[in-house]
Amino acid sequence: MDDAFKPSRRAFLKGSAAVAAGSVAGAAAADTPDPLITELQDWASYTGAGVDETPYGMPISFESHVVRRNVEWLTASPISSINFTPIHALDGTITPQGCAFERHHSGAIELRKEDYRLMINGLVDRPLVFTYDDIERFPRENHVYFCECAANTGMEWAGAQLNGVQFTHGMIHNMEYTGVPLRTLLQEAGADISPDKWVYVEGADASSNGRSIPMEKALDDVLVAFKANGEALRMEHGYPVRLVVPGWEGNMWVKWLRRIEVVDMAVESREETSKYTDVYADGTAQKWTWVMDAKSVITSPSPQMPIKHGPGPLVISGLAWSGHGQITRVDVSKDGGITWETARLGKQGDSKALTRFYLDTNWDGAPMLLQARAIDETGYVQPTKDQLREKRGENSVYHNNCIQTWYVSAEGIAENVEVS
Amino acid sequence: SHDGIYGLGRPALEEEVAAWDVDVLPDGRGLPAGSGDVWTGEEVFADRCASCHGEFAEGVDNWPVLAGGFDTLADEDPVKTVGSYWPHLSTAWDYISRSMPFGEAGTLTADETYAIVAYILYSNDLVDDDFELNNENFADFEMYNMDGFVVDVRPETEYTEWRKEPCMENCKAEATVTMRSVFLVETPPEGGSNSV
């Protein structure tokens, strides 16, 4: 921080006193003048940081809690592991890349654009190798999509586990991607695009994360992306090139994409047999559960976002999304699902993208059981956890899109609970 | 050049495709020539794999268990291993060859990989100790749970049922808390700490 911007000790003490006075005043009428208003503050007198101070900025220090977090006991190694987006503290729909969750199977690798190669081979007329610069010469598109890990909310199958929406629902991010449609590259190589063919995609990292995608999806809306939220992908999100597979489980969004192979059958790789298959109660496993169904969650109030302002106007805010298309409606319940009110969408939702909803309400200070319920353009209504468990049991690991309940106490403290 | 073709990129050479296209399909296509037996596999496994996966592929600490767990898939705590769960042997060969050992991926020879896979089958009591796996007999091997997988049933079992206008009022008699997370995990600390 620039010295000119650093408050003096005297100013710091004065500032602390001002904060204390301000909090005492609260919503009631002030009986003493607020020194933050009546006294000249340093920032209204001295100068701030110069434009040469920060060529690429980080959030202000007061926002240091808005960070990715991990849960050590979830995995054997932080190299093949997950962390969580601080969705409790965000608003709108676009996820800042710097705190957007990571999931790696052999760590985040550093791959220079100069060293990047993309191969397309298999059932193609012309097996090709592209450099990064080649990729940028194809006509490109922009789209906003959510990327949700198949395991998001997966720890919650057997009961309420982790006390924070960041941990229960934070394996997700939503970015505006710039990229080349996969179909363009398939066409360039003269691929056999008949509907019984598959596209196998793999990354440049040691895990490779190979996955099979049916040709119909490959030709539809899959992107070979090189920009997110306006800038290059972050290292941990696949720099310089990743796959974007709209509406489908995050595992298929292969990072550091190095090879696209057209094949006549699914490869049935490790990531689509051992992992990303869902065991139902009778012991049979579901494979190729690609789509992420409609889901929503209230991000505030939530365990990490207690109500601190007391009764009165309250903004209930949250996110909804569906891999089947647009979110058309979100209902909110304050009594654990007995009665529902339809919330307001922050703006019309994009297809297969996060949608923000708000319920502007007046809190009387009584305890609440908060729930949100998403409805998508196919008419699908987000199910309760009991409905899901009735169909699948408790061991399917992935694809838990249940309705989440927060118990909010009279003190405004929120807890992750299950309700009858 | 051709219609709708931009003429970008350059032809991939055979050696390049051979270097990167190493996936093995369920029917065995993609396997290189080679072989390995259980005894060799035991030695290689002890040297390259056992520090994480255990001498008998039973797993160390939180590292994956590769053997056992038969007939547990419908249990309260299923044990999903190569033996009890994986549908295709090709996946084991492909994944080990490409991505194992963790941190030293891609360093096993084809023969070492055959031997390790043979040893994992032996650890799962699926072959005798004199078994040799090679590219000739590979495709004949049938995995225990080969028929345990069905394609996504959600469209039939869930979507048809859940695409209905939902209840808005008096949806149930009461809602009571049946489980609270705070008994299981502490609330994460404030500030920039990284873990719960």
Q: Give the tens place of pLDDT for each residue, A230-261.
A: 999 999 999 999 999 999 999 999 999 999 99
Cβ under 8 Å to A: B residues 43-102? 52, 61-64, 73-74, 76-78, 80, 82, 85-88, 90-91, 94-95, 98-99, 102
With respect to residue A329, please indicate whether it lies within any of the assigned structural domains. yes
pLDDT band at A18 (very low <50, low <70, confident <90, very high): very low
Strand A295-300, strand A312-321: pairing: antiparallel
Average pLDDT rounded to a whole number, residues A340-345: 98
Segment A49-59 shows an average pLDDT of: 96
Same structural domain, A281 and A320? no
pLDDT at residue B184, rounded to an integer: 53
Q: Are residues A380 and A260 in the same domain?
A: no
Residue A305 sits in a domain whose CATH number is 2.60.40.650
Task: Using DSSP bridges, classify how beta strands A198-203 and A312-321 pair: parallel, antiparallel or unpaired.
Answer: unpaired
A205 occurs within a structural domain: yes
Chain A CB within 8 Å of residue B175 CB: yes
Q: Is 90 exceeded by the pLDDT of residue A376?
A: yes
Among A72-76, A329-333, B121-125, the least confident range:
A72-76
Residue A196 inside a domain? The answer is yes
- Between A92 and A12, the more confident residue is A92
> Which residues constitute the domain of residue A369?
295-417
Select the more confidently predicted residue: A19 or B46. B46
Q: Which residues of A fall within a CB distance of 8 Å from B69? A: none
My answer on whether A259 and A128 are in the same domain is: yes
Nearest residue of B to residue A155 by CA position? B181
Query: Alpha-carbon distance A327 to A375, whole Å?
Result: 6
Domain match, A336 and A271 both: no
In DSSP notation, A252-296 reads: GS-SSEEEEEEESS----GGGTTSS-EE-TTS-EEE---BPPPEE
Residue A233 lies in a domain: yes
Contact A406, A302 (CB under 8 A): yes
Angstroms from B83 CA to nearest CA on chain A:
11
Domain boundary residue, one of A252, A286, A320: A286
The average pLDDT across B92-102 equals 97
Which amino acid, A249? E
Judging contacts by C-beta atoms under 8 Å, the chain B residues touching residue A166 are: 188
The CA distance from A65 to A57, in Å, is 17
pLDDT score at A24? 41
**Is the Cβ of A161 closer than 8 Å to some Cβ of chain B?**
yes
One-letter identity of residue A56: Y
- How far apart are the C-alpha atoms of A135 and A114, rounded to whole Å? 12
Question: Are A80 and B196 an interchain contact pair (Cβ–Cβ within 8 Å)?
Answer: no
Find tokens 């270097």 and name the residue.
B19
For residue A4 the two structure tokens come to 């000119």
Is residue A124 domain-shared with residue A196, that is, in the same domain? yes
Output the CA–CA distances (angstroms, integers) from residue B140 to A382, B40, B88, B137, in the order listed: 44, 21, 11, 6
Q: Nearest chain B Cα to A377, which residue?
A: B163
User: Is the per-residue pLDDT at B192 higher than 70?
Assistant: no
Residue A315 contacts residue A384 (beta carbons within 8 Å): no
Q: How far apart are CA B83 and CA A242, in angstroms?
A: 33
Of the candidates B169, B161, B151, the one whose C-alpha atom is nearest the C-alpha of residue A378 is B161
Same domain, yes or no, for A234 and A148? yes
pLDDT of the residue at A175: 98
Q: Which residue of A has its CA nearest to B164?
A: A379
Q: What is the pLDDT of residues A157-211, one digit of tens each?
A: 989 988 899 999 999 999 999 999 999 999 999 999 999 999 999 999 999 999 9
Q: Is the pLDDT of residue B190 over 70?
A: no
Query: Residue B134: exposed, middle, or buried by beta-carbon count in 10 A (0-12, 13-18, 19+)?
Result: middle
Please state the rounded mean pLDDT for residues B54-65: 93
Same domain, A256 and A370: no
Q: What is the pLDDT of residue A7?
A: 40
Closest CA to A363 of A406, A297, A411: A411
Q: Which amino acid is at A220?
A: D
Q: Which residues of B touch A336 (CB under 8 A)?
A: 175-176
- Domain assignment present for A44: no
pLDDT, averaged across chain B? 92
Both tokens assigned to A371: 């729930």
Distance from A114 to chain B by nearest Cα, in Å? 14
**Chain B positions in Cβ-Cβ contact with residue A122 (cut-off 8 Å):** 21
- Report the pLDDT averaged over residues B57-80: 95
Contact present, A394 and A157 (Cβ < 8 Å):
yes
pLDDT of res. A72: 82
Torsion (CA) A102, A108, A110, A111 in degrees, nearest 10: -80
**Per-residue pLDDT at A30 exceeds 90:** no
By percentage, how much of chain A surpasses pLDDT 90? 89
Q: Please say which residue of A286, A320, A340 terminates a domain.
A: A286
Q: Which of B14, B20, B63 to mutate to test the interface with A (most CBs of A within 10 A)?
A: B20
Q: Which of A306, A308, A302 is nearest to A26 (CA)?
A: A308
Q: Residue B180 pairs with which residues in a beta bridge?
A: A417
pLDDT at A75: 84
The H or E element spanning position B117 is helix B110-123
Q: Can you tell me the mean pLDDT for A378-388?
A: 97
pLDDT band at B2 (very low <50, low <70, confident <90, very high): low
Nearest to A259 by CA among B101, B93, B16: B16
**Residue A234: which CATH number?**
3.90.420.10
Residue A184 lies in a domain: yes
Q: Is residue A216 part of a domain?
A: yes
Predicted confidence at residue A22, as pLDDT, reads 40
For residue B4, the model assigns a pLDDT of 63
Q: Which candidate from B21, B157, B196 shows the least CB-CB separation from A121? A: B21
CA distance readout (Å), A246 to A145, A344, A353: 6, 24, 8
Give the number of beta-carbon pairs within 8 Å between A and B.
Answer: 270
Of the listed ranges A217-226, B57-66, B145-154, the one predicted with least confidence: B57-66
Pairing of strands A327-333, A341-342: antiparallel
Contact A352, A93 (CB under 8 A): no
Residues of A in contact with B62 (CB under 8 A): 75-76
Structure tokens at A57: 């900025």
Please tell me the distance from the alpha carbon of residue B135 to that of residue B28, in angstroms, as a whole number: 8
Residue B52: in which H helix or E strand, if any? helix B50-53
Report whether pLDDT(A9) > 70: no
β-strand partners of A322: none
Q: Please tell me if residue B105 touches chain A, with a CB cutoff of 8 Å.
A: yes
B170 and A163: CB-CB below 8 Å? no
pTM, rounded to two decimals:
0.93
CA distance B37 to chain A (A): 23
Position B182 scores a pLDDT of 62
Question: Is the CB of A415 less than 8 angstroms away from the CB of B158?
Answer: no
